[in-house]
A and B are shown apart, each in its own frame.
Chain A
Amino acid sequence: MARAAIPRRLTWQLGRVVELIDETPRCKSVVVDLPEWQGHRAGQHVDVRLTAEDGYQAERSYSIASAPEDAHLVLTVERLDDGEVSPYLTDELRPDDELELRGPIGGYFVWERSLGGPLLMVAGGSGVVPFRSMLRHWAAGEHDTVPRLLYSSRTLPEVIYQEELTRFSADDGVDVRLALTREWPENWEGHRGRVDRGFLEEVAWAPAERPLVYICGPTSFVEAVAQTLVDIGHEPGRVKTERFGPTGT
């Protein structure tokens, strides 16, 4: 593991909400204007801090959905019903509100052109967010490999960035494969059910091609996919994971 450059101190910055975009019934993208933002790498995240009138504060981490090349920082937030910060961001926040955050954070679950490919991304639910940053970053530059995205969602309406993913597929040749685990349209041609070994063997490059694999999603999803890829013969050191959510155990 190469030693990363010593990062500068992460100070809290004040951004202004430019726009809120409905992505799915449960997810919104928060577009933030951050005058002091020093840039990020695709796959990194930020900490958001909310402050109540009595000084009480709550902090949470969110993946960055925008590419380093984009004009504004974008966070895509899934509303967790019993959450404290996400319902505020999805229900209460309005354009022109101030939003305090700091970052970028993390440097391992990152893809940049120098890392090359083949690049395989495996998303479960809102785990697709950092992959939009990676796909935009990939599309913004010269490239000699075309990534593949395997995206597992409960239902089709819960698929985030549907239009954009369709464009990546149609215009840039990105191999986007959707797996729907709960319900699917009658004439659904994508994968039905969980991401299993057969589907991974079909979509992933062979281990001999040494793909660089990124997996992001709920813990159980990430555990299962990472283990299956290792069982198939992929090098554990080329499989990077990012997990969220409780395990219940």
Chain B
Amino acid sequence: MSPISRGFGGRRRPVADPSRVPPGQYVTPDFPVLSAGPTPHTPLDEWSFTIHGAVEKPVSWPWDEFIALPSETVTVDIHCVTKWSKLDTSWKGVSVDTLLENVETEAEYVTAWSDGGYTTNLALEDVTGGRAWIAYEYGGEPLEPEHGGPARLVVPHLYFWKSAKWVRGLTLTPDDQPGFWENYGYHNHGDPWLEQRYQGD
């Protein structure tokens, strides 16, 4: 039970629908940027997206082929572990379901990996069933590098560090292997509705 902070009333900003804001979060109209290092700038002719690891046959798409895949445009709410949430963000990209359509695997986990060395781990069931996309447009415009362009993973039902920027591939694994922030004490799963910010939450 938290003690009352003497003299704190809160400056609650009116939110259209409070049921869309997970515990401990506040809604911002901005789009803050958080990254652990410099922003990579990979030219599109050197870019590809790869699915490999515990799969029958690895598969890889160069940029032109990737954006020619069937795409979806989704409007979702996103939640950052640093407490901000942004409602009704619009992304265009390829569903991970589409990418895994012809992939034979018995793996139960994936590691998303990115230019710059970033990784994050997810259960396969968290990136399938219409819950994750490799997005290359935000708000109808090409995704800016500082927000993860040319393409980033978008997994809106988990804290946003799971939505790896500058993503280049998914490694399917039989075991769960902690990624970058997960190794530094952030929660392995990261469900904002359960406030799974740090290990042990």
Q: Tell me the A residues contacting B by CB distance below 8 Å.
A: 1, 3-4, 6-12, 14, 47, 49-53, 56-61, 83-84, 87-88, 92, 94, 97-100, 105-109, 219, 223, 226-227, 229-230, 236-237, 239-241, 243-249
Q: Identify 18 residue pairs between A and B in the complex whose beta-carbon atoms are under 8 Å apart, listed by A's number.
A: A8-B200, A10-B185, A14-B3, A51-B8, A52-B9, A57-B24, A58-B8, A88-B8, A92-B7, A97-B6, A98-B6, A107-B184, A108-B181, A236-B38, A236-B116, A237-B37, A240-B36, A243-B33
Query: Which residue on A lies nearest to B32, using beta carbons?
Result: A246
Residue in contact with A226 in the complex, picked from B9, B30, B37, CB distance below 8 Å: B37
In the bound complex, CA of A219 to CA of B181 (Å): 20
Query: Which residue on A lies nearest to B29, using beta carbons?
Result: A246
Q: Which residues of B contact A241 (CB under 8 A)?
A: 35-38
A246 and B28 form a contact (CB under 8 A): yes
- Whether B15 sits at the interface, judged by CB under 8 Å, is no
Q: Which residues of A contact B116 (CB under 8 A)?
A: 236
Given A60-B83, A100-B3, also A249-B32 (CB < 8 A): no
In the complex, the number of residue pairs spanning A and B with C-beta atoms less than 8 Å apart equals 135
Distance in angstroms from A162 CB to nearest chain B CB is 29
Question: Contact flags (1/0) for B1-20 with A, using CB distance below 8 Å?
Answer: 01111111111100000000
Contact residues on B (Cβ < 8 Å of other chain), bracket = 35 or more
A229 and B38 form a contact (CB under 8 A): yes
Q: Tell me the B residues contacting A by CB distance below 8 Å.
A: 2-12, 24, 26, 28, 30-40, 82-83, 116-117, 144, 146-147, 178, 180-181, 183-185, 197-201
Distance in angstroms from B173 CB to nearest chain A CB is 16
